Chain A
Amino acid sequence: MTTNTSNRVAEIFTRYEQPILEDWLREQLAALTARQDLISEAELRRQSAELLALFIPACRAGNFTDISSPEWKAVLAFLSNVSRSRALQGFSPSETATVVFSLKQPLFSRLRQELSTNVDTTLADELWNATVLLDKLGLYTTEVFQKSREEIIKRQQEEMLELSTPVIKLWEGVLAVPLVGMLDSVRTRLVMENILQSIISTGSSMAIIDITGVPNVDTQVSQHLLNTVLAAKLMGAQCIISGIRPEIALAMVHLGVEFGDVVTKATLADALAYAFLKIGIVVTTTAPH
């Protein structure tokens, strides 16, 4: 039964490939009227024709219920490419799924034409099989769309991490790391690696971690900071933590957060003065030039 049905669908596709493609394109263009700035008709035609060319042999193989089987592999690969590029171009998920769903209308009308004269096969069965298949493919495009969106978000998060942890050379032998935003373990890890790497590359023996831009400091954040300071010490550099705002200082004391024997200063200026003292630099004031 299934084989019979699928062959019939494949037959219809083969016989009416060109008209189906035209109808399908019309459907897609109608659904995408507002989006013609994002994809040209020629591009859409190329995509659709290519998809149909992959779709027909897969139909002929006759497995309509399981799209994970090998004969659908090429179709799925093509669909994921299309969804991915649409996600990047800024299409919505439903517009992406329309690629597949709009194939229903042309296919069903051909099926109806063909089978109304044929009494031994029920039209309902044919339609059901075709619907199941197209729904699965449509859902697949949505899934891929979602996945590529998530990839984009993840990449942007990573880029933001990179942006938010600069290491600045304040003086020969003195580094500063202004931290802005929440510190979670992933970010702290990155900050830690950045600081330590810069200590090596610049040969600095003092590093100032400024936490003015960190909205709150809890036990976990302080643990992270402490680990960074300890690691720097193992490498032979001293860390100073600066930029502790009054409310943060209060909260830290209430929470019982301890920085141990790590040097902490209220402002970056204080920290720099301390660093100068440590490495033996004297700053004097003279008459302004």
Chain B
Amino acid sequence: MDQIPINKVGDFLLVSLQVDMDDHQALLLQNDLTNQVVKTHAKGVLIDVSSVDIVDSFIGRMLGNMASITRVLGANSVVVGMQPAVAITIVELGLSLATIQTALNVDKGMALLQALVNKATNEGRYERLEK
């Protein structure tokens, strides 16, 4: 079974979903990603779903889960390049992915991630200053 690669780019992790995942692969990826975030001290995770044509409720929920997990670990995550059909399906399935950040493509996703990280760093600095 193919393992989905997780690449480190600067301070960020890039996960590119090149195939339509089955449930087992999705669970594997979730575990992998959790471990990698901890191991690499990544500040952000970029999940590229531009090659994904089909989602079901499980995969949809898993995207939400991955976002939540990274947040718990103190990192930001952005889902990029979602196809229209996939977006419509997720909305119609009634999955509330209100918490995930999105961007049109990897480029804009990186910029957003950088902005989020900068903001978080600044806030942290202010907090320290206030103390």
Determine if B105 and A197 form an interchain contact, defined as CB atoms under 8 angstroms apart: no
Over the window 76-96 of chain B, the binary record of Cβ atoms lying under 8 Å from chain A Cβ atoms (1 yes, 0 no) is: 000111111011101110000
Determine if A234 and B104 form an interchain contact, defined as CB atoms under 8 angstroms apart: no
- Which of A22-30, A46-54, A225-233, A263-271 forms contacts with chain B? A225-233
Over the window 232-252 of chain A, the binary record of Cβ atoms lying under 8 Å from chain B Cβ atoms (1 yes, 0 no) is: 111111000000000000000
Whole-angstrom distance between the alpha carbons of A237 and B91 in the complex? Answer: 15
Known: A193-B84, A196-B84, A200-B84. A235 touches B102 (CB 8 A): yes
Nearest CB of B to A116, in Å = 73
Determine if B90 and A231 form an interchain contact, defined as CB atoms under 8 angstroms apart: yes
Residues of A close to B104: CB separation below 8 A: 199-200, 203-205, 235-237
Residues of A close to B125: CB separation below 8 A: none
Nearest CB of A to B7, in Å = 20
Residue among A192, A227, A234, A237 facing the most chain B CB atoms (10 A cut-off): A234
Say if the beta carbon of B73 comes within 8 Å of chain A.
no
Known: A234-B79, A234-B102. A193 touches B87 (CB 8 A): no
B102's nearest neighbour on chain A, judged by CB, is: A236
Determine if B90 and A236 form an interchain contact, defined as CB atoms under 8 angstroms apart: no
Residues of B close to A193: CB separation below 8 A: 84, 88
Residue among B81, B100, B104, B109 facing the most chain A CB atoms (10 A cut-off): B104
Residues of B close to A197: CB separation below 8 A: 84
Residues of A close to B103: CB separation below 8 A: 205, 236
**Which secondary structure dominates chain A's binding surface?**
helix
B101's nearest neighbour on chain A, judged by CB, is: A236
Whole-angstrom distance between the alpha carbons of A206 and B104 in the complex? Answer: 11
Q: How many residues of B are counted as interface, with CB atoms below 8 angstroms from the partner's CB atoms?
A: 20
Determine if A236 and B109 form an interchain contact, defined as CB atoms under 8 angstroms apart: yes
Say if the beta carbon of B8 comes within 8 Å of chain A.
no
Residues of B close to A236: CB separation below 8 A: 79-82, 102-105, 108-109
Whole-angstrom distance between the alpha carbons of A184 and B84 in the complex? Answer: 20
Determine if B82 and A235 form an interchain contact, defined as CB atoms under 8 angstroms apart: yes
Residues of A close to B81: CB separation below 8 A: 235-236
A89-117, CB < 8 A from B: none
A193-226, CB < 8 A from B: 193, 196-197, 199-200, 203-205
Determine if B105 and A232 form an interchain contact, defined as CB atoms under 8 angstroms apart: no
Residues of A close to B79: CB separation below 8 A: 234, 236
Determine if A203 and B87 form an interchain contact, defined as CB atoms under 8 angstroms apart: no
The residue that B91 contacts in the complex, of A203, A204, A205, A231, with Cβ under 8 A, is A231
Residues of A close to B87: CB separation below 8 A: 196, 230-232, 234-235
Determine if A205 and B108 form an interchain contact, defined as CB atoms under 8 angstroms apart: yes
> Which residues of B come within 8 Å of A, CB atoms?
79-84, 86-88, 90-92, 97, 100, 102-105, 108-109
Task: Sample 14 A-B pairs with CB under 8 A, ordered by A number.
Answer: A192-B84, A192-B88, A196-B88, A200-B104, A203-B105, A205-B104, A231-B91, A234-B100, A235-B83, A235-B87, A235-B104, A236-B82, A236-B109, A237-B104
> Which residues of A come within 8 Å of B, CB atoms?
192-193, 196-197, 199-200, 203-205, 227, 230-237
* Additional 20 contacts, C-beta under 8 A, given A200-B83, A231-B87, A231-B91: A192-B88, A193-B88, A196-B88, A197-B84, A199-B84, A200-B104, A203-B104, A203-B105, A204-B104, A205-B103, A227-B88, A227-B92, A230-B87, A230-B91, A231-B90, A233-B102, A234-B100, A235-B83, A236-B104, A236-B105
